[in-house]
């Protein structure tokens, strides 16, 4: 059988399993690249080559640094301080919650940020006689959009960067995502404060799934032991984070991004901000293995021509010489719709190699297309299962499925329009 056909069959099965989650996402990704090796599509050296990718190393290091922020209590302390200073007026409190969540989500776990801040926000709302639902939905929204500001803010950003690397194309810089992430965050915050908040239902607080919140916090690295936090270690973890970010911003040739991240992770352990086992536990291994597995699938799609076959089919459906703006908008919509019902990581992993093939088939630069796909995958506002932050606030906010639709769909459309306008400015076709 033609290797391209075999690759497409493996991709189709992987897509089905990603959507249905009949088996874990990471297992699906690793099974896909293993199958390609067994079937002779990929040589043995390339089957698991994604595990040694520098982007995987970068992501792993930053996971550990983020875990240190939660373990030492730094992230929680920053969030509580900002939120409490905002007072008890609904709109200023909403603004403070969204801004601090965006800032924390840009450099650490979106889910961990929500898990740590949610109990505090509920307490403030109850004391101020404000419905928690009014503040919890903006919390989840901010966590989703905040992740778009840096490469490690959200898995889709890493996925699209890795896809470009696998294809041998110029990749995105660590802060390059901020060109779209910051404007988009500002737009979403302003929309929520002035218009969107009117669509957020005013409901009695439901029961908070304390076990789920605790699990999410612990997964991010936050300690659940209730022990007093060391201010010294808070400062140390903050200095390490700032140092790593500064090194990445300077773009030092002797200190590549992944080296800076690993150095920061090592310092977190050496200084006692994290124990060795806590550092391992702070790494999101699902994302790591999913990313590595789908990198090999992307390689197979490129080498066998499977990606080109999909690209040609899509382009032919859109007619001769399709407008790259229209094409980008269509791919944004596909990615955004998928991410409402499946993992945003899986959505980006499925579409990234296809996006590259489509862009190349029409003679366009793949970078704006990949950026649109990555951003779209993070705009997971419209369903409770779209992303863990949405799920965490579901119970405490007393939300229904339709509540997410009413609030999230307009934001998805706004994100689409903003992305189609802003992305080509910084990444021309």
Q: Return the axis-axis angle of helices 3-20 and 344-361, rounded to nearest 10°.
A: 150
Asked if the model's pLDDT at residue 368 lies above 60, the reply is yes
Q: pTM of the entire structure?
A: 0.83
pLDDT at 367: 94
Asked if the model's pLDDT at residue 315 lies above 70, the reply is yes
Q: Cβ distance 165 to 53 under 8 Å?
A: yes
Asked if the model's pLDDT at residue 136 lies above 80, the reply is yes
Closest CA to 426 of 169, 188, 172: 172
pLDDT, average across residues 67-73? 84
Asked if the model's pLDDT at residue 127 lies above 80, the reply is no
- pLDDT tens-digit profile of 3-20? 889 988 998 898 888 878
Q: What is the 3-state secondary structure (H, E, C) of 320-360?
A: CCCCHHHHHHHHHHHHHHHHCCCCHHHHHHHHHHHHHHHHH
- pLDDT tens-digit profile of 353-366? 888 888 888 888 99
pLDDT at 222: 59
Cα–Cα distance list, 423 to 174, 231, 234, 328, 357 (Å):
16, 41, 37, 10, 19
Q: Cβ distance 74 to 237 under 8 Å?
A: yes
Asked if the model's pLDDT at residue 189 lies above 90, the reply is yes
Least confident window among 31-35, 155-159, 216-220, 255-259: 216-220
Closest CA to 314 of 299, 300, 326, 296: 326
In the block, tokens 């390059």 appear at: 176
Cα–Cα distance list, 233 to 67, 160, 261 (Å):
13, 34, 18
Closest CA to 12 of 39, 38, 32, 34: 32
Work out the mean pLDDT of the chain and round it to a whole number.
Answer: 85
């Amino acid at each position: 059988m033609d290797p391209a056909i075999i690759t497409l069959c493996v991709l189709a099965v992987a897509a089905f399993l990603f959507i249905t989650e009949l088996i874990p996402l990471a297992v699906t990704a690793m099974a896909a690249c293993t199958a390609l090796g067994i079937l002779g599509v990929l040589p043995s050296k390339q089957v698991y080559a994604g595990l040694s990718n520098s982007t995987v190393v970068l992501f792993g290091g930053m996971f550990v640094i983020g875990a240190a922020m939660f373990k030492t209590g730094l992230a929680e302390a920053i969030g509580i301080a900002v939120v409490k200073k905002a007072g008890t007026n609904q709109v200023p409190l909403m603004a403070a919650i969204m801004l601090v969540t965006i800032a924390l989500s840009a450099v650490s776990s979106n889910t961990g940020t929500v898990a740590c801040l949610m109990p505090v926000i509920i307490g403030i709302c109850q004391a101020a006689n404000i419905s928690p639902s009014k503040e919890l939905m903006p919390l989840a929204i901010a966590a989703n959009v905040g992740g778009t500001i840096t490469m490690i803010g959200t898995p889709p950003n890493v996925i699209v960067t890795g896809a470009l690397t696998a294809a041998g194309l110029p990749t995105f810089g660590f802060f390059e995502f901020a060109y779209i992430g910051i404007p988009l965050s500002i737009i979403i915050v302003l929309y929520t404060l002035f218009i969107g908040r009117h669509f957020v239902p005013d409901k009695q607080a439901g029961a908070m799934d304390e076990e789920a919140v605790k699990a999410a916090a612990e997964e991010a690295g936050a300690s659940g032991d209730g022990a007093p936090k060391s201010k010294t270690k808070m400062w140390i973890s903050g200095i390490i984070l700032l140092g790593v970010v500064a090194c990445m911003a300077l773009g030092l040739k002797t200190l590549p991004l992944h080296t800076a991240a690993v150095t920061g992770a090592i310092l977190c352990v050496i200084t006692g901000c994290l124990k060795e086992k806590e550092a391992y536990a702070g790494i999101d291994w699902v994302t790591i293995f999913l990313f590595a597995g789908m990198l090999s699938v992307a390689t197979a799609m490129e080498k066998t021509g499977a990606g080109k076959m999909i690209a040609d089919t899509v382009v032919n459906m859109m007619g001769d010489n399709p407008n790259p703006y229209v094409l980008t908008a269509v791919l944004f919509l596909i990615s955004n719709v998928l991410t409402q019902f499946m993992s945003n990581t899986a959505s980006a992993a499925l579409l990234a190699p296809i996006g590259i093939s489509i862009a190349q088939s029409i003679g366009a630069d793949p970078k704006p297309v990949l950026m649109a796909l990555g951003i779209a995958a993070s705009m997971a506002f419209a369903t409770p299962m779209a992303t863990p932050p949405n799920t965490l606030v579901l119970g405490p906010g007393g939300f229904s499925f339709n509540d997410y639709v009413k609030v999230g769909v307009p934001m998805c459309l706004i994100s689409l329009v903003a992305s189609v306008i802003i992305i080509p400015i910084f990444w021309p076709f």
